[in-house]
């Protein structure tokens, strides 16, 4: 591969909310790629706590003006979003064997339908058990989730959980 090739990775997810595990994958992805595009998917099958626009704004605020991170929303196929943003790879974090099985199937499908490769990063051990769904559930019942999400997200998350429940 030429030294001057610009490699952009798409990191898709619902990010409801973005977690410290997600941030871990993004920061480590920045070391591998020239730019990481955090792509917020709107999945109608999920009952999201935050709207797509709210998630976009929260994540944009988290990264500020970092030119190596771009935040977008998408409603189409992940591979179409990757193509629209000129991404050469899809970046995914893995936490456990269940993730491996699911992500392997997605990676093979994406390669078959769009000839795009997937790069996996193992989540750091301290975040290997977390998911946005689990964090929302624990927070809903008053559990301490403060170490699992960024400080600004924690404040917004606890406010939203208090409003909703």
Asked whether the whole model's pTM tops 0.85, one would answer: yes
User: Of 8, 55, 132, 136, which residue is the catalytic one?
Assistant: 132
pLDDT of residue 3: 64
22 included as an active-site residue: yes
pLDDT tens string 42-88: 877 888 999 999 999 999 999 999 999 999 999 999 999 999 999 99
164 included as an active-site residue: no
156 pLDDT more than 80: yes
Residue 74's nearest CA partner among 47, 40, 111 is: 40
95 included as an active-site residue: yes
pLDDT tens string 91-150: 999 998 888 999 999 999 999 999 999 999 999 999 888 899 999 999 999 999 999 999
Distance CA 79, CA 111 (A): 9
pLDDT of residue 25: 97
Domains identified in the chain and CATH numbers = 8-164 (3.40.50.620)
User: Of 8, 22, 55, 136, which residue is the catalytic one?
Assistant: 22
The most distant pair of C-alpha atoms in the chain lies apart, rounded to whole Å, by: 54
85 included as an active-site residue: no
Name, in order, each residue with C-beta under 8 angstroms of 41's C-beta and a sequence gap of 6 or more: 12, 13, 14, 73, 74, 75, 78
Strand 89-94 and strand 69-74: the pairing is unpaired
- Of all residues in the chain, what percent carry a pLDDT higher than 90? 86
User: Of 8, 55, 92, 95, which residue is the catalytic one?
Assistant: 95
CB 120 within 8 A of CB 9: no
Q: How confident is the model at residue 165 (pLDDT cuts 50, 70, 90)?
A: confident
pLDDT tens string 118-129: 999 999 999 888
Q: How confident is the model at residue 157 (pLDDT cuts 50, 70, 90)?
A: very high
CB 142 within 8 A of CB 27: no
pLDDT of residue 1: 46
22-39 average pLDDT score: 97
């Amino acid at each position: 591969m030429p030294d001057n090739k610009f490699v952009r990775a798409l990191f898709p997810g619902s990010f409801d909310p973005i977690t410290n595990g997600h941030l871990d994958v993004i920061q480590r992805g920045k070391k591998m790629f020239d730019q990481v595009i955090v792509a917020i998917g709107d999945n109608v099958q999920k009952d999201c706590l935050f709207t797509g626009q709210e998630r976009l704004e929260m994540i944009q605020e988290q990264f500020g003006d970092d030119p190596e991170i771009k935040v977008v929303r998408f409603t189409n196929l992940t591979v179409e979003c990757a193509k629209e943003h000129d991404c050469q790879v899809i970046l995914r974090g893995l936490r456990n064997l269940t993730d491996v099985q699911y992500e392997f199937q997605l990676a093979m499908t994406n390669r078959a339908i769009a000839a795009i490769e997937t790069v996996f990063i193992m989540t750091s051990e301290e975040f290997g058990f977390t998911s946005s769904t689990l964090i929302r559930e624990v927070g809903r019942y008053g559990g301490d989730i403060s170490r699992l999400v960024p400080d600004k997200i924690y404040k917004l998350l606890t406010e939203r959980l208090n409003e909703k429940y």
